[in-house]
């Protein structure tokens, strides 16, 4: 038997906006930040009461700048939090003062309710209950419940009965189920569209079980479950008949198993199987707690990620990934080359059959010339905007590009002379079919060609164009293929300070 709700997990596309809402507006404590157990490059945040108690926890998987999902049947769709009834007016005033759109007060199943949305569009209900009044301001006391949209509501309701959730009321298409602590509202959505995973949707609801023995009993009863050790609790996942993902999670060992109670959520915790802690910390998005100094992210032409080290030296490395890469791919390499540099990674905007690139490819060695020029103009706008937005010193900016990103950097140098003064181009080739003559005097470029790179024969044309137009060029041929090697790291580290 379960005892109610353990936690609810959703997906966010903007970690800073998420922290500002759940900590800053709602006042919940950030009690754990961890690299994902399934995908370590995915940040996972847990909010709750100061002790991280089961039944108070709302967690978010961070898909930074990820694609939006779609709300539909087979998904949890609302998070309900319990507040004291007499504080409904205070929360309404607080939302209006913060410019947060809010509906209510409404009455649902006899309780006063305020309904609002978080920055990702996830519906949050503040439900007036008999929760103890801790004064004002104070965060919600606990999870009140969740709403699940089901195409087969009767089957979902029957499935939840052995887990301790019994019908206690019905309003319209919604049947309310209650356990010892927490409710599940099952909305009949037959005929509606199915949900699609992505940002702005709730991934799963976790039901609370007291210990491992109870978890094993549920797993044996249900069959087909996936068991996991999540360090802070053990869990099993299963889909109910309506398609929603349900987790059964134990109370222990709890959030204090790897952090003291008075410092919960202050340190990024890394799963035991992760071997490269540094690389992970560079690739996960940074954020600031409410009131802390922060980097205000700007809306610029390219999706981007900025990483500032603890002791920045004023230099910046702009990172342009290879085909199929992302804005964080080159951050570990760049950090090893220049540990004190600020890192600014871009995500290419052109795609070939869903593969991320900085410009489209027509064949193995021919490229869309109009796309190159259009994206180069967008990059020039990004460059100027980033300098102003993030207070960067253009004289101390270096571009580090790999493969498609290196090709793009070379094209930008041709089309917007004077923009890029220093570049490390790994496995580059000449992307422009008729590069213009321009003045590259004052520019320093390191090109790193692989002797066994199938594209390597095309690098010489770029080197010849760079040298002919006055660039201070160092061209190296490495005993390598198209992959990045230790020799690339060593040569770039040696060259950069010059």
Ordered DSSP codes for 372-394? HHHHHHHHHHHHHHHHHHHT--G
Mean pLDDT taken over the chain: 95
pLDDT in tens, 166-206: 999 999 999 999 999 999 999 999 999 999 999 999 999 99
Residue 2 has pLDDT above 80, yes or no: no
pLDDT in tens, 70-115: 999 999 999 999 999 999 999 999 999 999 999 999 999 999 999 9
pTM of the model: 0.89
The pLDDT score that the predictor gives to residue 498 is 67
Q: Does domain 4-269 have CATH number 3.10.580.10?
A: no
- Beta strand segments in 374-481, E: 397-402, 422-426, 444-450, 472-478
Task: Report residue 121 as tokens.
Answer: 């569009």
75-84 and 123-129 strand pairing: parallel
Q: Supply the CATH classification number for the domain 303-495.
A: 3.40.50.1820
Cα dihedral 10/15/16/20 (nearest 10) = 20
Q: Tokens 């959030």 — which residue?
A: 255
Cα dihedral 307/310/316/321 (nearest 10) = -30
- pLDDT bracket for residue 299 (50, 70, 90): very high
Task: Report residue 70 as tokens.
Answer: 């779609």
The answer to whether 4-269 and 303-495 have equal CATH topology is no
Domain ranges of the chain: 4-269, 303-495
C-alpha 429/C-alpha 150 separation (Å) is: 53
CA angle 193, 198, 200 (to 5 degrees): 90
């Amino acid at each position: 038997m379960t005892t109610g709700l353990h936690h609810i997990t959703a997906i966010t596309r903007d970690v800073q906006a998420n922290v500002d809402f759940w900590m800053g507006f709602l006042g919940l404590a950030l009690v754990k930040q961890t690299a994902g157990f399934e995908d370590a490059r995915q940040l996972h945040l847990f909010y709750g009461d100061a002790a991280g108690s089961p039944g108070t926890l709302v967690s978010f998987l961070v898909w930074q700048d990820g694609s939006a999902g779609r709300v539909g049947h087979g998904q949890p769709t609302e998070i309900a939090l319990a507040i004291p009834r007499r504080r409904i007016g205070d929360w309404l005033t607080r939302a209006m003062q913060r410019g947060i759109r809010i509906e209510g007060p409404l009455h649902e199943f006899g309780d006063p309710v305020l309904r609002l949305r978080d920055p990702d569009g996830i519906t949050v209900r503040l439900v007036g209950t008999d929760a103890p009044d801790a004064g004002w301001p104070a965060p919600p006391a606990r999870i009140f419940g969740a709403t699940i949209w089901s195409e087969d509501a009767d089957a979902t309701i029957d499935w939840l009965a052995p887990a301790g959730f019994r019908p206690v009321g019905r309003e319209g298409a919604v049947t309310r189920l209650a356990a010892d602590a927490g409710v599940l509202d099952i909305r009949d959505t037959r005929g509606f569209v199915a949900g699609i995973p992505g940002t702005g949707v709730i991934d799963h609801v976790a039901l609370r079980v007291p210990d491992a023995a109870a978890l094993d009993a549920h797993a044996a009863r249900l069959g087909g479950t996936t068991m996991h050790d999540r360090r802070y609790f053990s869990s099993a996942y299963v889909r109910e008949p309506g398609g929603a993902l349900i987790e059964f999670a134990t109370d222990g060992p709890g959030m204090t198993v790897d952090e003291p109670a008075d410092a919960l959520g202050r340190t990024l915790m890394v799963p035991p199987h992760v071997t490269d802690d540094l690389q992970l910390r560079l690739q996960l998005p940074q954020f600031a707690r409410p009131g802390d100094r922060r980097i205000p992210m700007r809306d610029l032409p390219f999706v981007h990620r900025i990483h500032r080290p603890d002791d920045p030296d004023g230099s910046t490395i702009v990172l342009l990934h290879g085909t199929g890469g992302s804005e964080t791919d080159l951050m570990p390499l760049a950090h090893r080359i220049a540990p004190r540099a600020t890192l600014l990674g871009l995500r290419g905007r052109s795609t070939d059959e869903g593969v991320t690139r900085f410009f489209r490819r027509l064949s193995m060695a021919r490229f869309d010339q109009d796309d190159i020029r259009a994206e180069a103009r967008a990059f020039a706008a990004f460059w100027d905007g980033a300098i102003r937005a993030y207070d960067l010193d253009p004289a101390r900016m270096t571009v580090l590009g790999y493969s498609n990103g290196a090709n793009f950097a070379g094209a930008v140098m041709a089309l917007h002379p004077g923009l890029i003064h220093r570049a490390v181009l790994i496995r580059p080739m000449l992307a422009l079919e008729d590069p213009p003559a321009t003045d590259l005097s004052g520019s320093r470029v390191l090109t790193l060609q692989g002797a066994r790179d199938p594209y390597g024969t095309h690098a010489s044309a770029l080197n010849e164009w760079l040298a002919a137009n006055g660039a201070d060029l160092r061209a190296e041929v490495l005993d390598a293929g198209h992959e990045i090697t230790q020799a690339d790291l060593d040569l770039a580290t040696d060259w950069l300070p010059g």
